Amino acid sequence: MEFDFWMLFAGIGIFLFGIYLMEESLKAISGRAFKDFIRRYTSNRFKALGTGTLATAVLQSSSAVILMVLAFVGAGIMQLSSAFGVILGSNLGTTFTSWIVASLGFKVDIESLSLPFIGIGGMSLIFLGRTSKIANYSKLMVGFGFLFLGLSYMKTSVEQVTQNFDLSAIADYPLIFFVLIGFVITAIMQSSSASMAIILTALFGEVIDFYTASALVIGANLGTTVTAIIGSLGGIIVKKQVASVHVIFNFVTAIVAFILLKPLNYLVLEVVGLKNDPVIALALFHTIFKVLGIILFLPFTNQFSRLIEQLIKDKKVHLTKYIHNTSPEVAEAGLEALHKETAFLIELVMLHNLQKVQVKWTKVFSQDELNAIRTNKSKVHLYQQIKSLQSEIFLYASQIKSNDLSEQEMLQFNQYLHSIRYAAAAAKSLKDIEHEFELLQDSKSNYITEELEKANKFIIKNYQVINELMNNRSPEKNLAKIIKYNTTIHQRDQNSVVKLSQMIKEKQLNATEVASLISFSRNFTLAHRQINLSVKDYLLSSDETELLEQIENIELEA
């Protein structure tokens, strides 16, 4: 019987399509649940390991899990050390497919197993798949069926090879040769699951022996690093750091597994007693050497992560602090990055405004807070930095998939955009009165000197309140403090108008001083109102915002 290449080729294609359908449907079915799961359960290395293993085993996609990890690290939700734990777990989770193929694919009539899944799934997709839930479950069934149908085609084509293949022809090749073959196959196919299916099929059909198969598995494991390397090229710095973790883990694990190849083979074949069940033995070998790598790396995740962060640094100067590290593809992570970037912009605006009225930053911020805010090495002036930052944030926000956000998150998303606009406007309000402020400083009027001193005390006191609110030291009091802050701004403005009118009547100010003082007072008050609106939209929920607006309307009517 001649070898049917196209049957093998079709088998690989159908298998990959089955994996793709399963991955896409499982991601849709799991939805936000797995994103929340990955985000929450990574507080220590063991939780991160378990989370990565479970998420990859269920989603059938280490790339999908790593994409989420990248987004969460970039947004500051997850530390690189926790991401390292998830990546270790994700590597272990990829062995789940091997166990499915080894335990079911060669133990039962594969075709009879696959056809009912394809038939039921396909019919339900066409006739019942009007809702996304039924459609996704139908695709999952079809994908599962295609996975085994593709395996059946591969198995049949390999059985044809067996009849004409002499194993002794490759017996003299060194094992490192087969490691390289496994590497190349996986690098080309971009799927370790497909590589494992091919290797298991060849082993089952006795085209290769167990030692050769185990060397191929090590190579296939190495081949997955090509995807990580390609994906990190030209990418954000966090992506390069995570890719480096993935590459180093796989290379070290492969080297250790190759050195211990004979002892590991003896363990699964002789000690465990799977000599007569080579496909299960190979799945176990695959799992054991992954676990071996985890044992080597897990105790040192914190130290290793710090080393990676030191070795791979972002040399480019970014005006943004969070969003340049966060992919907008994971909407929840994008929203969190937007949340933190908004806070960063508000803090920059406060620094700018304090600078414009010549108040020392240390009157509002601690030295640690200042160091955290002023991490940017750019020589761009603060106002230009604020304007550029605003533009970059809005550009980033436009890339977030808003349809992946819940209704409540969408409201929060819009509030952040309003907050950014108000904050930038507050900076412009004080920038526009630089000249007036300089004229007032040169004035000999005691009244103007007192007014400037009052303005300084006012901005210090109110920015201290904002800084406390922004740090969420007492979030339950946010609404009350913002209401009080609003009232204080309104009262100060009224008092200033009354006092200025009196000074004009008494002719204690010249025309230039009056014009400068009116302009300064108007813009100073406007800047406070704008920063207050910014903080309100940043901190308060939509319900609290609505309540605050009602209170403000009552005050205006009064």
The pLDDT of residue 2 is: 57
Same domain, 52 and 102: yes
Do 301 and 441 lie in one domain? The reply is no
Comparing 24-33, 171-180, 276-285, which segment has the lowest mean pLDDT?
Answer: 24-33
- Percent of the chain exceeding pLDDT 70 equals 84
- Is the separation of the CB atoms in 198 and 279 below 8 Å? no
Q: Do 264 and 392 fall within a single domain?
A: no
| pLDDT tens digits, 445-466 | 888 888 888 888 888 988 888 8
Does any domain span residue 138?
yes
Residue 408 has pLDDT above 90, yes or no: no
Q: Do 98 and 226 fall into the same domain?
A: yes
Q: Which residues contact 347 (CB under 8 A, 6 or more apart)?
A: 373, 470
Inter-CA distances, 471 with 136, 197, 487, Å: 42, 52, 22
**In the chain, what is the straight-line distance between the N-terminal and C-terminal CA atoms, in Å?**
96
Question: Of 280, 311, 342, which residue sits at a domain end?
Answer: 311
User: What is the pLDDT, as a whole number, of residue 508?
Assistant: 73
Please report, for the domain that includes residue 429, its CATH number.
1.20.58
Q: Which residues contact 547 (CB under 8 A, 6 or more apart)?
A: 479
Residue 106 domain-assigned?
yes
Residue at 272 is within a domain: yes
**Look-up of token digits 């049917």:** 4
Residue located via tokens 């066409």 = 126
The full length of the chain comes to 558
Q: Residue 167: which of 217, 201, 212, 197 has the closest Cα?
A: 212
H/E run at residue 309: helix 301-311
Instruction: Give the per-residue pLDDT at 161.
Output: 56
Mean pLDDT of 408-416: 89
Does some domain include residue 226?
yes
Amino acid at position 328, single letter: P
Q: Could you tell me the residue range of the domain that residue 296 belongs to?
A: 5-311
Residue 507 gets the label, from left (phi > 0), alpha (psi -120 to 50) or beta, of left
Q: Percent of the chain scored above 90 by pLDDT?
A: 15
Same domain assignment for residues 64 and 20: yes
For residue 417, the model assigns a pLDDT of: 93
Any domain includes 318: no
Q: Any alpha helices (H) in 163-274, and if so which ranges?
A: 175-189, 192-204, 210-232, 237-259, 261-266
For residues 362 and 222, state if they share a domain: no
Any domain includes 76:
yes
Mean pLDDT of 365-381: 71
Residue pair 544/483 in contact (Cβ under 8 Å)? The answer is: no
Specify whether 290 is located in the same domain as 362.
no
376 in Cβ contact with 319 (< 8 Å)? yes
Of 281, 311, 341, which residue is a domain's last? 311
- CA–CA distance from 157 to each of 3, 108, 201, 280, 350 (Å)? 6, 17, 10, 21, 70
Same domain for 287 and 352? no
Q: 3-state secondary structure string, 426-463?
A: HHHHHHCCHHHHHHHHCCCCHHHHHHHHHHHHHHHHHH
Render 57-91 in DSSP notation, one character per residue: HHHT-HHHHHHHHHHHHHTTSS-HHHHHHHHHHHH
- C-alpha 38/C-alpha 40 separation (Å) is 6
* 392 shares a domain with 343: yes
Structural domains counted in the chain? 2
Q: Structure tokens of 1?
A: 């019987």
- 333-341: average pLDDT: 88
Question: At which residue do the structure tokens 């006795």 appear?
Answer: 206
The per-residue pLDDT for range 215-274, each reduced to its tens digit, is: 999 998 888 888 777 766 666 777 788 888 888 888 999 999 999 999 999 999 999 888
Burial class (CB in 10 A: 0-12, 13-18, 19+), 295: exposed
Residue 519 shares a structural domain with residue 454:
yes
Structural domain includes residue 317: no
pLDDT value at residue 455: 86
- Phi and psi for 541 in degrees, rounded to 5? -75, 170
pLDDT exceeds cutoff 90 at 485 = no
Q: Report residue 206's pLDDT band, with 50, 70 and 90 as the boundaries.
A: confident
Q: Using the 8-state DSSP alphabet, how is residue 271 labeled?
A: I
Per-residue pLDDT for 303 more than 60?
yes
Residue 316 inside a domain? The answer is no
pLDDT in tens, 87-107: 889 888 888 878 888 887 776
d(CA 450, CA 457): 11
3-state secondary structure at position 276: coil
Give yes or no: residues 454 and 428 share one domain.
yes
Q: Contacts for 481-490 with beta carbons within 8 Å, 24 or more apart?
A: 482/532, 482/535, 482/536, 482/539, 482/540, 482/548, 483/548, 483/551, 485/532, 486/529, 486/532, 486/548, 486/552, 486/555, 487/555, 488/462, 489/462, 489/525, 489/528, 489/529, 489/532, 490/555
Residue range 126-171, pLDDT digits in tens: 888 777 888 888 988 888 888 778 877 777 776 655 555 555 556 5
Same domain, residue pair 415 and 299:
no
- End residue of a domain, out of 252, 279, 311: 311
pLDDT digits (tens, 9 = 90+) for 20-42: 787 777 767 666 666 677 777 77
Whole-number Å distance between alpha carbons of 33 and 378: 40
Q: How far is CA 521 from the centre of its chain?
A: 44
